[in-house]
Structure 1
Amino acid sequence: SSSSSSSSLSRPADGSPSSSSSQWLHHLKDTAALFYGSAYVRYLAVFQMSFGFGQTFADSYLNSEIVVESLGLSSVGWVSAMIPTTAALASPVLSALGKTKSSKRFWLVFGSLMICSVGVIALIKNKQQLISAKWWISAIYILLGIARGVFENTGKATIVDFYPNENAASAFSNMLLWSGFAFGMAFLSSGFLSQRMLGSILTALSLAAAVCIVCAFKLYF
């Protein structure tokens, strides 16, 4: 019985670490293959990166360097909460007004421009001016909240439109991959890049996203 017990332990069953690892690698391969083979995914990845960079710009730079100095540490929570709150309020509007292909394109470009406006503010205003803005700094979080609503609502609906078949899972994996990649890059760079440099990256990335969205829908129509 001991030999049968040991042999059963040596055989990987479904759900075992080796099986899970194999599935994960297979899914990663599918994700990479779709990115390589689909222009839609590559175009949308730019928007997803601009979203990720913008959200982390708020979390890693604005919260610690601006909000703490301007409104105090106790205000970081409610200011940060404005992003998901605004996104939640915007979602029903985006759902109602973003049912057609052209309207989805409009809202994705609009979301990119919301992110771009945050980058422009970081470019034209220095750190002390942002600190002096006091509670007006919340306007930046509202802009990013609208962008998050577009990402969560219109962005995901667009992926379903582009990939209504078995490629949908890989398309969503790419969305998470590229937004997460930008999250990481923004987090690492916010410690040593200046506000102006971060604003420049965010502005360039979001403008590129707007152009890429137009290109993606031009292929789709």
Structure 2
Amino acid sequence: AILFSANHGCVVACLSLATARFDDVGAWQNGALYISYVGSSLLGVTHVVKVLGSRRAMTLGMGLYCCYVACFLVATSWHGGETPSAIVGAVIGGVGGGFLWTAQGAFFAESSEVHAKSLNQSVSESTSLLAGIFAFIYLTMEVSMRMLSSVLESAFDISWINIFGIYAGISIFATISMYFVKSYDKKSIEVSLEEEVDSSYTTNVSATLRLLRHDPKMKYMFGLNAIFGLSAAFVNSYVNGEVVEIALDDEDNKYVGYLGATTAGVAAVSSLLFGFLCKKIGKGPVLILGVFAFLGVVLPFLVYPEVENWGWPLLIMIYSLQGIGRATFEGTLRATFADFFPREKEGAFANIILQNGLASAIGYILPYIFTCTSSGGYCVEYSNGSFHNVLIFEVLLLFVATFAIVGYWRASVLFRQEYLYFQTDGVLL
């Protein structure tokens, strides 16, 4: 978990700095990252994870993520080459994210099964506990990586080239160290007949869409993945890239790292609390709490859109609510997917990538599609002088939040029906 989190922490730190450092190029880079991320979930990531095994597939994904982090170093040092290096790195990183998170989900499910068997308890209890522990480590490491840029830039006056070089070095070291992590793979997959290879490939590649089409629970889980993807894009693109600079007069982006660390810090603490709370009241209420937290992120912009009059208290509240919502996504939601889809782990977690990644890509691109002519209210002048309508984005978040709550309720009903069906030897009660 520590190595995974160090690598991914470098990626998230760079992701939040993309729009702040590269303006429009950064926004399109993030969009390319998530489009590639979504594409990987449809083009064979489940097959790769099943063939390589979860640990080796995670290592491959981390290696590709290293390319994404390195692209920031290249883009900063290569004057005139920011756009091609940023976009190429984003496409490679998106594929890496597809491998990484699908493999992490499978590895998590395997770990939970081993943990449950060793303690003679239900898998659901193990997923609740281990999800909280993983999310705490993951998010604590993210806090460190996010704060690193702000500390190095403001306290030690280290150049951005060197900062991105440090991020690249950390991500590479974590990837190499994955060789020493225990593997839960039961056996290597060996097939001798070409027909078997083709059949396996066809089946595994289609696992993501097959699960989405034929398992009704998956359709209803779309909202929970989408609300996080849209909210994360809203914060990383609009709030990090524009609002912080306007509200805090932060032209040098010194505070973006600290505010991002606030989100990760709140999420880290919340994830531990939610891990224990889920064992008491179940995962459903915690997931609904997360949706309301995401609503709390966007509501201030609808009620009080004049961000030039904002200050630290309102921004800290927004980043903290994002952290509460994110804790439910990184821990509770992934544990719920492990519970709801135990027979197709890779396909289930690839669907998280598909749904969350698609929403994130839309979120990064949406403000650049809906433009306006003059600053005022919900028409915001970006730092590059262009005007963008953010109201449509904010209203979309409200609709998706509503669907997320209703959709989860329906998916949980279907899951309980399935559970009763299998508990009674196929007789549906």
TM range, normalised to the smaller chain?
A: 0.7 to 0.9
1:214–1:28 Cα change, 3 Å? same
Superposed displacement of residue 188, structure 1: 0.5
Letter in 2 for 1:134: G
Structure 2 residue matching 1:197: 3-state secondary structure: helix
The CA RMSD over aligned residues, in Å, is 2.1
Segments of structure 2 that go 5 or more residues without pairing to the other structure are 1-50, 53-193, 371-388, 417-429
Q: Distance in 2 between matches of 1:25 and 1:177?
A: 18
Letter in 2 for 1:215: R
Output the CA distance in 2 between the equivalents of 1:124 and 1:192. Answer: 23
Structure 1 residue 131: Cα displacement: 3.1
The alignment status of 1:35 with 2:215, answered yes or no, reads no
What is the percentage of aligned positions where both structures have the same residue? Answer: 26
What is the SS of the residue equivalent to 2:339?
A: helix
Query: What whole-Å deviation, never above 9, does each CA across 1:84-118 have from its counterpart, x for those lacking one?
Result: 22111111101101126x52110111111111222
Runs of 4+ with deviation above 6 angstroms: 22-25
Alignment map for 1:48-127 (pairs within 5 Å): 48-71=225-248, 72=250, 73-99=253-279, 103-126=282-305
**Correspondence for 1:174:** 351
The alpha carbon displacement at 1:25 in A equals 6.3
AA aligned opposite 2:317: A
Are the equivalent residues in 2 in contact too, given 1:115–1:144 (CA < 8 A)? yes
Alignment check: 8 A CA contact 1:57 1:190 kept: no
Q: TM-score, normalised by structure 1?
A: 0.83
- Partner secondary structure for residue 220 of structure 1: helix
Q: CA deviation at 1:47?
A: 0.7
Aligned counterpart for 1:199 among listed residues 394, 397, 405: 394
For the residues of structure 2 that align with 1:49 and 1:25, how far apart are their CA atoms?
Answer: 27
Which residue identity does 2:340 align to in structure 1?
F
* Number of equivalenced pairs: 199
Residue 221 of structure 2 aligns to a residue in which SS? helix
Deviation at 1:176, TM superposition (A): 1.2
1:86 to 1:24, Cα distance in 2 relative to 1, 3 A: farther
Shift of 1:26: 4.7
1:113-192 correspondence to structure 2 within 5 Å: 113-126=292-305, 128=306, 130-136=307-313, 137-165=315-343, 167-192=344-369
Unmatched 5+ stretches in structure 1:
1-13
Q: Distance in 1 between matches of 2:300 and 2:201?
A: 41
